[in-house]
Amino acid sequence: MSLQILSVPSRPRTGPAAARVVGDALDAACATRVGTPLVARGEVDVVLDLRHAGRRALTLRYERFGDVTLPTVFVAGGISADRHVAASAALPGRGWWDAQCGDGKALDPRRHSVLAFDWLGADGCLDVPLDPADQADAIAALLDALRVERLQAFIGCSYGAMVGLQFAAAHSSRLSRLVAISGCHRSHPHASAWRALQRRAVALGALQCDDSHGLALARQLAILSYRTSAEFDRRFEAATVVGDRVRVGAEDYLDHCGATFANRFAPTAFVRLSESIDLQALNPESIRVPVTVVAVADDRLVPVSDAVELAERLRGDTRLHILQSLYGHDAFLKEGPAISAILSEALAGQEVAA
């Protein structure tokens, strides 16, 4: 193994489960070409053996951006990310990673076929424990259905990085390189404690017959774990008296974050995917494909020490980037130029290797 550690400054501030494809994804896909590149959105029916819930018939919902003859890059974000990575002429709605995916960007659909899917359980209909390894097996089943033999790269952020590590361990023959951003081989106990309290907020809302309020509160607690105290110090004013109560400067922002999230996410989906993060347990020595590990110095959820341990224990060629960012765990969403440079480097290396 060769390990390179790179510091990138920024702005100051257990075995695989069996899977069987039931449907034909190519027939199910709804493909549209508006100019170029090709955009396709579809569904695939599969049967998966889930690690904690047995055999289940499931539907995988995917989106593909870029001609299918191009090298495929799978992209996965946090638990709130979905299959719509970036806006396109055919599907113009805002994507969760527009900063990195699009013409002329690191994930350029003129050079790559960018593939993503909705997480198992994201629709709130699968109320069982979900292991990150289950998600990796679902991705392998999706690749089978789409007749993709090998990924040029798997790019995972946060929960997506955890799933990417699982995919690299269980399906290494199908992967040329993994980029794991702000996600490691384990859930840090302190981060798990944060999430346990968030799930209790959801449970309290259910007891009060107010699921939306409970989920909004959980999201507000999550935001505090994603971002840094330095950012809040820069953005928000001191507390003020409003009527007969004290209101702190960040409350309006947190209220907005909570309400927006509660309007688009199901409580069951949040709870089960939050639990899934805490189920992450992987032996890094089982991974022998090349990996780019990206950590953020002020990340409260994924400490740099865990990223360093991961990089040291991986058995393939490994590069470790450590970012400085005001935005903590959310740096992959906010630090556009730094993340773009890392992605471009990783993908360029694979293009040369290919």
Indicate which residues carry an active-site annotation.
158, 299, 329
What's the N-to-C CA distance of the chain in angstroms?
Answer: 20
What one-character DSSP code corresponds to residue 297? T
Residues contacting 212, CB < 8 A, separation 6+: 205, 262, 263
Q: What region does 198 belong to: left with phi over 0, alpha with psi -120 to 50, or beta? A: alpha
DSSP 49-114: EETTTEEEEEEEEEEEES-TTSPEEEEE-STT--S--S--SSS-SPPTTTTTBSTTSSB-TTT-EE
Cα distances (Å, whole numbers) of residue 55 to 52, 58, 137, 311, 322 = 9, 10, 13, 34, 40
Provide the token pair at 91: 């599907």
Give the CA count within 13 Å in the CB-facing half-sphere of 294: 31
Residues contacting 350, CB < 8 A, separation 6+: 71, 152, 153, 176, 177
CB–CB of 175/151 below 8 Å? yes
